């Protein structure tokens, strides 16, 4: 089964790292492999294809990661948390997903992401 891809669009890479940690810690997602940095133009293209409209604002940090949940479940969990980023779920059966996976090895690895340890996942709520 192909992994679902999430596209994280935010102001800086520190916020992208926090958003990834939130996906693991609060949304119960497992990040498969290493998150990657993608060019803003590719991020805008992916956004437009998935959302159906042009992005309204520009972001400085664009990151993609593969997660272990089906798209519907990933979207549901995203609605329950409030990460410091705009996150779009890209389902495996889309041209955007195919293109991102085709280019995956050319993207720079996002440095500094370490999946939070499982023991830290006690409470699901955030204060």
Output the domain CATH number for residue 65. Answer: 3.30.70
Q: What is the pLDDT of residues 58-83, one digit of tens each?
A: 999 999 999 999 999 999 999 999 88
**Is residue 124 one of the residues assigned to a domain?**
no
Helix (H) or strand (E) holding 64: strand 61-67
Tens-level pLDDT at each residue, the chain (127 residues): 679 999 999 999 999 999 999 999 999 999 999 999 999 999 999 999 999 999 999 999 999 999 999 999 999 999 999 888 999 999 999 999 999 999 999 999 999 988 766 544 444 443 3
Interatomic CA distance for residues 120 and 114, integer angstroms: 13
Q: Is residue 104 part of a domain?
A: yes
Rounded distance between C-alpha atoms, residue 60 and residue 83, angstroms: 16
For residue 89, tell me if it sits in a domain: yes
Give domain status of residue 87, yes or no.
yes
Asked if residue 55 is part of any domain, the answer here is: yes
Question: In Å, what is the CA distance from 99 to each residue of 8, 29, 72, 90, 91?
Answer: 16, 23, 21, 11, 12
Domain that holds residue 76: 4-112
Q: Which are the contacts of 32, defined by CB distance < 8 A and separation ≥ 6? A: 3, 65, 66, 67, 68
Has residue 127 been placed in a domain?
no
């Amino acid at each position: 089964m192909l992994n679902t891809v999430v596209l994280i669009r935010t102001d800086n890479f520190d916020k992208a790292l926090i958003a990834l940690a939130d996906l693991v810690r609060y949304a119960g997602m497992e990040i498969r492999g290493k998150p990657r940095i993608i060019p803003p133009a590719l991020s805008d293209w992916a956004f437009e294809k998935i959302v159906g409209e042009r992005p309204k604002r520009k972001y400085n940090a664009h990151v993609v990661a593969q997660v272990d949940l089906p798209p519907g479940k990933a979207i549901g969990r995203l609605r329950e948390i409030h990460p410091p980023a705009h996150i779009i779920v890209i389902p495996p059966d889309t041209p955007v997903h195919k293109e991102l996976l085709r280019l995956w090895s050319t993207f720079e690895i996002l440095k500094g992401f370490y999946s939070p340890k499982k023991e830290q996942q006690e409470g699901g709520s955030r204060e």
